[in-house]
Amino acid sequence: MWAVIRNRLLMLIVVIFGVSCITFLMSNVIPGDPARMIVGVKATEETYQRVREQMGLNDPLYEQYLNYMQGLLTGDLGTSLRTQQPVIEDLITYFPATLELVLYAFLIAIILGVFIGVLTAVKNNSMWDHIGRIFSISGVSLPVFWSGLMAIILFYGVLGWLPASERLDLFIDAPPTITGLYTIDSLLAGDMEAFSNSVLHLIMPVSILAFVHLSAITRQIRASMLDVLQQDYIKTARANGISSSFLIIRYALRNALMPAVTVVGLSIGSLLGGAVVTETIFNWPGMGKYVVDSIGSLDFPAIMGFTILIAIGYVLINLLVDLLYMVLDPQIRE
């Protein structure tokens, strides 16, 4: 087990190097001049050149890169051109909002996905299976930006049931920061008004984000469950009088989870990608919206900081998946 952790952490170094290299190069070859963005089109050539010099844009590329990597090693991701704040501080500010969104979406997707997947596999080709299939295919094929907008039109525009943007209503104060997750912080502070309001604000973006992943997980669980239910050991257990419900939960599900875990791990990457779109649609003040705004103003340090953070998260989550695999499968443990 320690070998796996060590290998993954070594890999992390390679991944960070690769990701930083590529994003750094890309931000330098795409058209657009951050210095020009800052000084504006009406500035004199002299001002413009001075800003370029200050930002180090006139240095050779490798020198710029080395400077950046030097900062990275000390946790310095540079200063955002847009907010004039250190990028790392910006990311820390926006991270809890994204975490709250992704965490709840992920939990809902896993719990419901496993449940619906098992149900539709056990009731294979029944009405439940067909309903489940329509549900999951629409989840996989409807893009978030479409289903999100439709939800806003229906639940905010027409019905007026749910708020469509931000984490809280304007006149409600945010709870004191402990975890940064408003639902948890408001409960800890005993502020029920903030709690119920933040839940209302979460419902739509979380559902929209969960929908896609719920569908992917449902389809994977259904497929692997159907496969496992055909296996000889299920027949052996049945021939020995093990009851159906016990058989499904204790014999089949654990084996069916193994291929699903891989899919879930890989889909976390797209969950983060989906969060960027969801945050933009619902005006959610998280990292996704931060990076979209940064892209709009060619804020390269912010974009790079975000990309590297996501890459690190992705590698760590897949390390977690590998460890989970070991827990589930005794053959891999050795």
Is residue 127 close enough to count as binding another protein by CB under 8 A?
no
Candidates 242, 320, 323, 326: give the one binding another protein (CB under 8 A): 242
Is residue 232 close enough to count as binding another protein by CB under 8 A?
yes
Is residue 254 close enough to count as binding another protein by CB under 8 A?
yes
Nearer of residues 116 and 252 to another protein, judged by Cβ: 252
Candidates 211, 251, 300, 314: give the one binding another protein (CB under 8 A): 251
Is residue 123 close enough to count as binding another protein by CB under 8 A?
no
Is residue 29 close enough to count as binding another protein by CB under 8 A?
no
Residues 6+ apart with CB under 8 A from 63: 56
Q: What is the largest CA-CA distance in the chain?
A: 87
Cα-Cα end-to-end distance for the chain: 9
Distances in whole angstroms, Cα of residue 143 to Cα of each of 210, 278, 291, 300? 12, 10, 20, 28
Q: Look up residue 199 and give its two tokens.
A: 């839940």
Is residue 27 close enough to count as binding another protein by CB under 8 A?
no
**Residue 254 C-beta: closest distance to another protein, Å:** 5
Is residue 321 close enough to count as binding another protein by CB under 8 A?
no
**Residue 96 C-beta: closest distance to another protein, Å:** 37
Nearer of residues 45 and 232 to another protein, judged by Cβ: 232
Write each residue from 183 to 222 as x if it is in contact with another protein (CB under 8 A), else as -, in one continuous string. ----------------------------------------
Distances in whole angstroms, Cα of residue 247 to Cα of each of 229, 238, 322, 328? 9, 8, 26, 17
Count Cβ neighbours within 10 Å for each residue of 178-188 and write b for 16 or more, e otherwise. eebbbbbbbee
Is residue 329 close enough to count as binding another protein by CB under 8 A?
yes
Q: Look up residue 234 and give its two tokens.
A: 């299920």
Is residue 226 close enough to count as binding another protein by CB under 8 A?
no
Q: Look up residue 312 and give its two tokens.
A: 């690190």
Q: Are 259 and 332 a contacting pair, CB within 8 Å?
A: no
Is residue 76 close enough to count as binding another protein by CB under 8 A?
no
> How far apart are alpha carbons 244 and 246 in whole angstroms?
6
Is residue 246 close enough to count as binding another protein by CB under 8 A?
yes
Report the DSSP beta bridge partners of residue 86.
Answer: 79
Nearer of residues 60 and 330 to another protein, judged by Cβ: 330
Q: Pick from 224, 226, 210, 234: which is nearest to 262 by CA?
A: 224
**Residue 268 C-beta: closest distance to another protein, Å:** 24
Is residue 239 close enough to count as binding another protein by CB under 8 A?
yes
Q: Where are the alpha helices (DSSP H) in the chain?
A: 2-29, 34-39, 45-55, 61-73, 87-122, 127-141, 144-151, 182-188, 192-229, 232-239, 244-246, 253-281, 287-296, 300-328, 330-333
Is residue 330 close enough to count as binding another protein by CB under 8 A?
yes
Query: Among 15-23, 247-255, 263-271, 304-312, which window interacts with another protein (CB under 8 A)?
Result: 247-255
What is the binding site for another protein (CB under 8 A)?
231-233, 235-244, 246, 250-251, 254-255, 328-331
